[in-house]
Amino acid sequence: MADELARAARLLREGRLVAFPTETVYGLGADASSAAAVARLYAAKRRPLDHPVIVHFAAAEDAFAWAREVPQAARKLATTFWPGPLTLILKRSPKAGDFVTGGQDTVGLRVPSHPVAQALLREFRGPIAAPSANRFGEVSATTAAHVREDLAAEADLVLEGGQSDIGIESTIVELSGGKAVLLRPGHIGASELEAALGEKLAERPAGAPRHSGGLERHYAPRTRAQLVAPHELDAQISKWLAQGSEVAVLAFSRPDQRVDFWLRMPQDPVAYAQKLYAALRELDGAGCARILIETPPQDERWAAVGDRLRRAAA
Ligand code: TXA
Ligand code: MG
For position 85, what pLDDT does the model report?
98
Looking at ligand 1, which atom is closest to the CA of residue 53? 25
SS (H, E, C) 201-264: CECCCCCCCCCHHHCCCCCECCCEEEEECHHHHHHHHHHHHHCCCCEEEEECCCCCCCCCEEEE
The residue-averaged pLDDT of 293-309 equals 97
pLDDT score of 127 more than 90: yes
Task: Please name which of 151, 143, 150, 156 lies closest in space to residue 24, comparing C-alpha atoms.
Answer: 143
CATH topology identical between 2-197 and 225-312: no
DSSP assignment of the chain equals: -HHHHHHHHHHHHTT--EEE--SSS-EEEEETT-HHHHHHHHHHHT--TTS--EEE-SSHHHHHTTBS---HHHHHHHHHH-SSSEEEEEEBPTTS-HHHHTT-SEEEEE----HHHHHHHHHHTS-EE--BSS-TTB---SSHHHHHHHHTTT-SEE----S-SS-SPPEEEE-TTSS-EEEE--SS-HHHHHHHHTSPPBPPPTTPPP-GGGSSS-SB-SSEEEEE-GGGHHHHHHHHHHTT--EEEEESS--SS--SEEEE--SSHHHHHHHHHHHHHHHHHTT-SEEEEEPPP-SGGGHHHHHHHHHHT-
Tell the residue nearest (CA) to atom 29 of ligand 1.
Answer: 107
Mutate-to-test residue for ligand 1 from 47, 53, 92, highest number of ligand atoms within 8 A of CB: 53
CATH class given for the domain over 2-197 = alpha beta
Please report, for the chain, the start and end positions of each structural domain, with discontinuous segments joined by +. Answer: 2-197, 225-312
Name which of 126, 129, 208 is nearest 174 in CA terms.
Answer: 208
Distance 214 CA to ligand 1 centre (A): 10
Predicted model pTM: 0.96
Q: pLDDT of 85-109, one tens digit each?
A: 999 999 999 999 999 999 999 999 9
Domain 225-312 class in CATH: alpha beta
Among 87, 90, 146, residue to substitute to test ligand 1 (most atoms within 8 Å of Cβ):
87
- Index of the ligand 1 atom closest to the CA of residue 27: 6
> What is the β-pairing status of strands 128-129 and 54-56?
antiparallel
Closest ligand 1 atom to Cα of 172: 23
Ligand 1 atom nearest 214 alpha carbon: 19
Interval between CA 51 and ligand 1 midpoint (Å): 9
What is the tens place of the pLDDT at every residue in 205-243?
665 555 555 667 788 889 999 999 999 999 999 999 999
Whole-number Å distance, alpha carbon 82 to ligand 2 midpoint, is 20
What is the Å distance from ligand 1's center to 154 Cα? 20
Residue 299 alpha carbon to ligand 1 centre in Å: 24
User: Is residue 299 packed enough to be buried (19+ CB in 10 Å), middle (13-18) or exposed (0-12)?
Assistant: exposed
- pLDDT at 149 (0 to 100): 95
Ligand at shortest distance from the CA of 83: 1
Check residue 274 and give its pLDDT: 98
Half-sphere exposure of 171 (CA within 13 A, CB side): 25
Residues with Cβ within 6 A of ligand 1? 22, 24-25, 27, 51-54, 87, 89, 101, 104, 106-108, 110, 130-132, 169-170, 172, 209, 211-213
158 pLDDT higher than 90:
yes
Instruction: From 23, 26, 172, give the residue whose CB has the most ligand 1 atoms within 8 Å, as the site to mutate.
Output: 172
Q: Return the pLDDT at 264.
A: 98
Q: What percent of the chain is modeled with pLDDT above 70?
A: 96
Mutational pocket test of ligand 1: of 69, 106, 109, 212, the residue with most ligand atoms within 8 Å of the beta carbon: 212
The C-alpha angle 169, 38, 19, rounded to 5 degrees, equals: 50
pLDDT of 286 over the 90 cut: yes
End-to-end CA distance of the chain: 40
Q: To the nearest whole number, what is the mean pLDDT of the chain?
A: 95
pLDDT one-digit tens code per residue, 9-32: 999 999 999 999 999 999 999 999
pLDDT band at 199 (very low <50, low <70, confident <90, very high): very high
Q: How confident is the model at residue 157 (pLDDT cuts 50, 70, 90)?
A: very high
Q: How far is ligand 1, taken at its centre, from the CA of residue 52, in Å?
A: 7
pLDDT of res. 290: 96
